[in-house]
Structure 1
């Protein structure tokens, strides 16, 4: 809800009373090549700006048709209506694009300044309103209907006060925003560093001197994954009947980076489980790989002695004595093998890794003693990166808390 005890010259208004609020097309136009018109969806709104890096394109005719309903102009505000709700962005300059799954607040600068409204949409007051008034819908994927965008309650001061608040926020945010940019840049650099560590490791550069690019160190060989595994299989191809208790039955959603999760398990009968375990029997130390779905390629090492069964969306690898399981886990996460898995999984929305393909993926294999040394070198470097990541995350949380503190004062009339 909107804040209480506002200054006397402020008032609470309903968004649709002061702005024309629309949304983009409800249909999926036919996509064309990059010579077409960009179609901006909710996923293209990031960090209160439009990201044009991964957009689809539509024909000019479709663009003109969509524009009849939702023409975007300079000064308007876009708002992600599905998935990650929010990320409001003010349009600056020409807007030669169409929108889908995006809210459109048409500017009305005689009543409310665009930047003032965007700051409100970023505030905890607005987030609290979404939750308390139950403006969000959906379960697996949250969204806000157009009708609810038109019901937003806004604390509105006179224009002169709005401008003063915007100026004060910009002053307070200037250094803060740059600090956040620097922290996120450092986060990205750490991600790159982690991948570099894995790349160096499996080129032999962490344990050997003077290794030429493209050459294997002495004693190394290229092998397929099936050469270093006692078993490569997957879970049940048909989902068995579930019940309120019994043997745990896990799927792709339960494979996490740090191990399997039992937070949201399904259960199957002991009889059904015994049949499933004959073919696919995960044990501590085994490697699990998500073979399809949104998290295809995610993997972990089984970190529990607890008995559980798997759905067919998860591949199981049991290593033999030629390879260390941690070594294989890291190599599968490295750019060398990860790119191979992406290639075999296909480029469509329905990416999938098949047993026949993963068995044939080639990896570099050093002697077993060197594998242990490589794992130690990797973990030593990655632990430092993890600590830095933890500090960056903490700093970002502190920055966000400070932002919300400033916005809270702004929209309760206490900032000036």
Structure 2
């Protein structure tokens, strides 16, 4: 196979996104034009603005996050949220858009330094590419395998949805007609602490700091851990040191309204968009966690739109959530009933989560083999 070497800026001439930046972040799904970021979230929302939309006849393009080096393939008209990206046009005389997009996904560079990477570094990376015909064959094989992976992921997610439906039915049954008497969480807990509102300064190693992405209904998923320095850790635990058995609650973002408990063996600090409840003699921590995860609460959370359009629950509203007022022994009986019903669900969820992680790792393996000429 004959290969020719090019720098990325030869293959992908860039332009600044300034004239495509959205003026208002009051998004609505009923609007027509998507607002994009090059990160994992990709579509931030939809706008009704008519000016400054990237032209359909110039598609497809790649968008590149100038700070994280993440990229996305775009084949529909769009606007963008931030100037911290580059729009990469494709030199189609040399390379197919999908080929160069897939090739970029296996480029690994250290992007911990806060700087714009395209001009200073990324655009100068040299890669070897085959003829257009060979590129087409490679893209076709990649997408054939990816379609199989996507089908598997779809089935996994469908199973996960079915498990969640069963989980919710168990929780509804457990708390149905428990007691007409209620009390606010604020009056039942010993302590309620909101997380610091600043973004943690992350480090390669150090003390464990939780993200809401670690939150699963009923447990913490620590397959991916994040760390902060001891100094940052001390700052973020100054108000209250989290401990085993404390209940955590995600109060903002895409996984809004998920409760879990800090398990034994870890001493974390809190990241963003979460709260901590420390129970005492009035309410059992597992009882509180299950109640927060039940449709009784999740169907009635007060969701509002902030300046970024991110859904969230106000801290004051969370404190006013009302909990059935029953004896501690009866709380334990309800917890036992729930745990017996949901123990299998938890194992299935963990198995599916691990399979989804492996599916993403498989994508990277496919791409790596494809560009090493080992994809049969």
Q: Does 1:165 align with 2:126?
A: no
What are the Cα deviations for residues 127-159 of structure 1, in whole angstroms up to 9, with x where unaligned? Answer: x3xx2xx4x3546xx974455442343321011
Matched, 1:407 2:344: no
Structure 2: distance between partners of 1:105 and 1:262: 31
Corresponding position of 1:41: 36
- What's the counterpart of residue 3 of structure 2? 10
Cα distance, 1:174 vs structure 2: 3.4
Please, which of 274, 281, 295 is the counterpart of residue 320 of structure 1?
281
Cα deviation, 1:141-193, whole Å, max 9, x if unaligned, reads: x9744554423433210112112222333333332332223223334444454
Structure 2 CA distance for partners of 1:185 and 1:11, relative to 1, 3 Å: farther
Q: Report the counterpart of residue 174 of structure 2 in structure 1.
A: 201
The structure-2 alpha-carbon separation of the partners of 1:250 and 1:224, relative to structure 1 and needing over 3 Å to count, comes to farther
Q: Is residue 111 from structure 1 mapped to residue 72 from structure 2 by the alignment?
A: no
Tell me by how many angstroms 1:29 deviates.
4.0
Note the alpha carbon deviations across 1:363-401, whole angstroms, 9 max, x for none.
Answer: 234454442232123223333222222322343344444
Q: Give the distance between the partners of 1:305 and 1:401, measured in 2 at CA.
A: 28
Provide the residue aligned with 1:385 in structure 2.
345
SS in 2 for 1:60: coil
> Which secondary structure state, in structure 1, belongs to the residue aligned with residue 18 of structure 2?
coil
What SS is found at the alignment partner of 1:110?
coil
Q: Which residue of 2 aligns with 1:98?
A: 79
Following superposition of structure 1 onto structure 2, how do residues 17-416 of structure 1 map, counting pairs within 5 Å?
17-25=10-18, 29-31=22-24, 38-42=33-37, 51=43, 54-57=44-47, 59-61=49-51, 63=52, 67=54, 71=55, 73=57, 75-81=59-65, 86=70, 88-91=72-75, 95-101=76-82, 102-122=85-105, 124=106, 126=107, 128=108, 131=109, 134=110, 136-138=111-113, 144-145=117-118, 147-202=120-175, 204=176, 216-217=177-178, 220-229=180-189, 231-234=190-193, 257=215, 258=219, 264=228, 266=230, 285-287=245-247, 300-301=260-261, 315-321=276-282, 323-338=283-298, 342-343=302-303, 346-349=304-307, 353-354=314-315, 357-415=317-375
Aligned-pair distance for 1:14? 0.9
Distance 1:265 1:292, change over 3 A: farther
| Preserved contact between residue 337 and residue 363 of structure 1 (Cα < 8 Å) | no
- 1:305 and 1:330 map into 2 onto residues whose CA distance is 22
Q: Distance in 2 between matches of 1:267 and 1:19?
A: 42
TM-score by length of structure 1 reads 0.64
Runs of 5+ in structure 1 lacking a partner?
Answer: 1-6, 205-215, 240-248
Provide the C-alpha distance between the structure 1 equivalents of 2:163 and 2:71, rounded to a whole number of angstroms.
25
Structure-2 change in CA distance of 1:183 and 1:359 (3 Å):
closer
Q: Is the 8 A contact 1:13 1:155 kept in 2?
A: yes
After superposition, the Cα gap between the structure-2 partners of 1:314 and 1:337, relative to the gap in structure 1 and judged at 3 Å, is same
The Cα of 1:298 is off from its aligned counterpart by 6.2
Asked if 2 retains the 8 angstrom alpha-carbon contact of 1:290 and 1:297, the reply is: yes
Structure 2 unaligned runs (5+)?
Answer: 199-206
Is the CA contact (8 Å cut-off) linking 2:209 and 2:228 kept in structure 1? Answer: no
**1:63-106 deviations in whole A, cap 9, x for unaligned?**
16xx5xxx454542333516875353241xxx432234454332
- On the 8 A contact 2:211/2:226 being kept in 1, the answer is no
8 Å contact 2:211–2:270 — kept in the other structure?
no
Q: In angstroms, what is the RMSD of aligned CA positions? A: 4.8
Alignment TM-score, normalising by the size of structure 2: 0.70
